[in-house]
Amino acid sequence: MAALTAASASAADTKYTGALDGFEAKVNTTTFDPTAWTRERWKTAPLQLTYKPAPARETQAWQRKLRLKIAELVGGIPAARPPLKTQLLETRTFPGYRREKLVIETRPGVAMLAYVLTPLGATAPLPTVICVPGHGRGVDDIVGVADDGRDRTDKAGYQHDFALQAVEQGMAAIAIEPMGFGCRRDEKTRRRGLGTSSCQPNAGAALLLGETMIGWRAYDVIRTIDYIETRKDLDAKRIGCMGISGGGTVTLFTTALEPRIKAAFVSGYLNTFRDSILSISHCIDNYVPGILNWAEMYDVAGLIAPRALFVESGDRDNIFPVEASREAVARVKAVYTALGAPDRVGHEVFGGEHSFHGVQGLPFLKRVLSDS
């Protein structure tokens, strides 16, 4: 009886992990792992338009060809630019800057909230940075608005109010609310709280329509540039774009497709599809169907060259592994070198997790836009 009791106790202590428990010696467990299988498939992915070092003229021809393909893969960027319908909701003055809250209609029937932040006393027209937040509460996370709607000064959260940091560098900032966050969510999602996104079902709907959330959000940035061109106090010839995480995704793809952006600052994103998006659980808004038939993430970044690009990576970022970021930046530098602009791309690896840092990136952005 004692032996039986001991055996029962031992069995109870063993945690059941699945139907193959006890059969490990009879099967190859790795063949049941879809992630391992897809990583193997990556090795034979066509990557038909991946960059191969070439002289400047051939590199430029590669950029033109891949840019058209990326625009197609994200679902197309509408050529139509319907009249912007803007509505100013509020203007407030803070120590050092002014903040306008406004609504821009980016497509017929599609509204976007934006904050325009301009440093007090600065000489217009100002270099202007479009700021795109990552996953969280939306644009409030980057303009100094606390969870209760009040003003904050502590730059909390992983995004650290980076739009305000841009203004502190003397640049104007337009912080935009991405689709699926903040006030751009359906009623059911809003009832679940400020930090719940509606990327699902919205990004899923985009896929069903043959489009992508990346394409939708990129078009919002493009329409923001159209808005900048209507203002005399903002310099449409000195436009930058910056974002972290999902905002870094939007920054990277939009800058690759939109030549009016003179400089990009990508925080916590540039990596490889292989080591991040393909291997680690991400929001559905990250996915571009069929992209590995044509290019890796570093190829998309190569479309920015020779315009300025700065990348920052946390050495403990658990969703965009730092070694893959280093690999990606090295690949991108090959494009810049071919175009005679190796000094126009920079990379900082800082000690930290998945968060905005800005120590080298913001001065880089300021310098480039000041020199443009």
Q: What is the pLDDT of residue 287?
A: 97
Name the amino acid, one letter, at 51. Y
Model-level pTM greater than 0.85?
Answer: yes
Q: What is the mean pLDDT of the chain?
A: 95
Rounded alpha-carbon distances, angstroms, from residue 180 to 56, 73, 146? 40, 21, 19
Of the chain, the end-to-end C-alpha distance in Å amounts to 85
Q: What value does the mean pLDDT take over residues 324-337?
A: 98
Q: What value does the mean pLDDT take over residues 294-308?
A: 98
Q: What is the pLDDT of residue 361?
A: 98
Whether residue 304 is predicted with pLDDT greater than 80 in this model: the reply is yes
Choose the CATH number for 56-371 among 3.90.226.10, 3.90.870.30, 3.90.79.10, 3.40.50.1820.
Answer: 3.40.50.1820
Q: What value does the mean pLDDT take over residues 59-77?
A: 98
3-state helix, strand, coil in the chain (%, to 5): 35, 20, 45
Q: How many C-beta atoms lie closer than 10 Å to residue 5's C-beta? A: 9
**Where do runs of H (alpha helix) occur along the chain?**
2-13, 34-42, 56-73, 162-168, 187-190, 199-208, 213-228, 246-257, 297-302, 322-338, 361-371
DSSP string, 134-148: -SSSSGGGGTTB-TT
Residues 163-185: pLDDT tens digits? 999 999 999 999 999 999 999 99
Q: What is the pLDDT of residue 189?
A: 94
Residues 4-56: pLDDT tens digits? 454 454 555 689 999 999 999 999 988 999 999 999 999 999 999 999 999 99
Burial grade of 234 (CB within 10 A; 0-12, 13-18, 19 or more): buried
- Cα 268 to Cα 247: distance, rounded to the nearest angstrom: 9
Q: What is the pLDDT of residue 208?
A: 97
Pair 236, 127: CB distance under 8 Å: no
Q: What is the pLDDT of residue 80?
A: 87
Q: What is the pLDDT of residue 372?
A: 67
Nearest CA among 290, 295, 297 for reference residue 320? 297
Q: What is the pLDDT of residue 371?
A: 82
